[in-house]
Amino acid sequence: MARKYFGTDGIRGEIGKFPMTPEFALKLGWAAGKVLADDGRSLVLIGKDTRISGYMLESALQAGLVAAGVSIRLLGPMPTPAVAYLTQAFRASAGIVISASHNPYQDNGVKFFSSEGVKLADDIEERIEEYLEQDCTVVASDKLGKVEFVKDAAGRYIEFCKRALPSHTALSGLRVVVDCANGATYHIAPNVLAELGADVITIANEPDGLNINQNCGATSLKSLQNAVQQYRADIGVALDGDGDRLMMVDHKGNIVDGDQALAIIAQHRLDEGTIGKHVVGTLMSNLGLEKAIENMGLQFHRADVGDRYVMKVMNETGAILGGEGSGHVIIHDRIPTGDGIIAALQVLSAIIDSGKTLCELKQVMTKYPQTLVNVRVAQREGDTGVDLDNDKIQEAVAQVEEQLGSRGRVLLRKSGTEPLVRVMVEGEDEAETKILADLIADAVRES
């Protein structure tokens, strides 16, 4: 069954426009509640980021869930991975996060976690969509759900994060600047780092409902780079609006992305003997990461883009490490979803144990230049109107691959959300990758 509402990361859109309306949120809460009630389960946790629209959607979801006979525990502003963890801790039927992650405040979204703290299975989302096409009903008054607020949710999650480091490991002596993106980690991340002994300078931790991800956080690092230099910090940590994404800055102000963080963690876990044999990236992961992982004697696997697909390949291979260059890093023996704070702690632990700076540790991976060209194409019947297998395009790809040999790679794919074809060429020489990417892009345009 083709899903009508759910994308790869829940349901998302601009507030006030379908489906991000209170009417739809109420219906969604009811539909999810009906599925859970059908399965004999009746407790849901709800967390949200700091967008002003979160209160509206939270109230509407509550009404729908309660009408279906499901009880609720409200967590308040809480990082996405915290909701995943607390869903397991409370033995809840499901967890709901109201967030649009790194998007601006005008957007919002709703995503679900199962009782195991992972994204809902496709068949569950399909059952919710079936109920979305039906009329709402209300259970008998004595069967209505109840709503309670979890007062110690933040404290529970802070303690969970701290347990991600061995009891003998402290962050004493490290000066860390943390950028909370004016999002859901504003009252979590600084406390975790400080309680573990770090000297913490915090920026973008005064959310007002409108400033989430605004010139701050994992998608806008200039402020963090400046702060690291200004305060002569050892490291900068940037989280996104819902706390599931991590980007870092070394003491020189240089950016360390998700691929580099994954390589650092992999080397540290290898040194500890706690990594297994597999690491998972995506089709977009830098070639330098693949080579670094292979140089460690480990196997590197590429999943489709999206943490849902990374997790799928991790489960198939038994990998405990996976992630994306955008900063989603999954450390499966800590928590079964991307967690920016947990990932940051793993990197900080590597710094403490090795005695090296972040700048030195990132040398475990040589980052290859990547050129990405987006070619806008005609849209036809919901798909991009171009056949990527036609002779002209494939001849261009073959020519580029022959020239690069083992020095690089080519990725050609259609966007899942826009009428675009994405051309990515990666190699040792940046100027060469630009020329070769344009060669393929021209073939796509002509086709």
Mean of pLDDT values over 65-80: 97
pLDDT at residue 380 above 90?
no
Mean pLDDT in residue range 409-423: 85
pLDDT beyond 60 at 207: yes
- In order of their start, the domains of the chain are 11-151 (3.40.120.10), 157-364 (3.40.120.10), 370-446 (3.30.310.50)
Check residue 37 and give its pLDDT: 85
Tell me the two tokens of residue 365: 């991976």
94-120 tens-digit pLDDT: 999 999 999 999 999 999 999 999 988
The model carries a pTM of 0.92
Three-state SS sequence of 172-231: CCCEEEEECCCCCCCCCHHHHHHHCCCEEEEECCCCCCCCCCCCCHHHCCHHHHHHHHHC
Peptide bond into 104 cis (omega under 30): no
Tokens for 402?
Answer: 């022959």
Question: How does the average pLDDT of the chain come out, rounded?
Answer: 94
Stretch among 64-73, 305-314, 378-387 having the lowest mean pLDDT: 378-387
Q: Which residues are catalytic?
A: 101
pLDDT for res 415: 78
pLDDT at residue 381 tops 70: no
The answer to whether residue 294 scores a pLDDT higher than 90 is yes
Classify strands 94-98 and 370-376 as parallel, antiparallel or unpaired: unpaired
% of the chain beyond a pLDDT of 70: 98
> Does residue 57 or residue 308 have the better pLDDT?
57
**pLDDT-derived band at 161, boundaries 50, 70, 90:** very high
Average pLDDT over residues 347-360: 97
Which DSSP category does 300 fall into? E
Exposure string for 378-404, b = 16+ CB within 10 A, e = fewer: eeeeeebebeeeeeebeebbeebeeeb
What are the structure tokens assigned to 336, written together?
């079964």
Mean pLDDT of 433-445: 95
Q: How far is CA 293 from CA 219, 278, 314, 353, 424, in A?
A: 26, 9, 15, 20, 21
38 band by pLDDT with thresholds 50, 70 and 90: confident
| Digit-coded pLDDT (tens) for 252-290 | 999 999 999 999 999 999 999 999 999 999 999 999 999
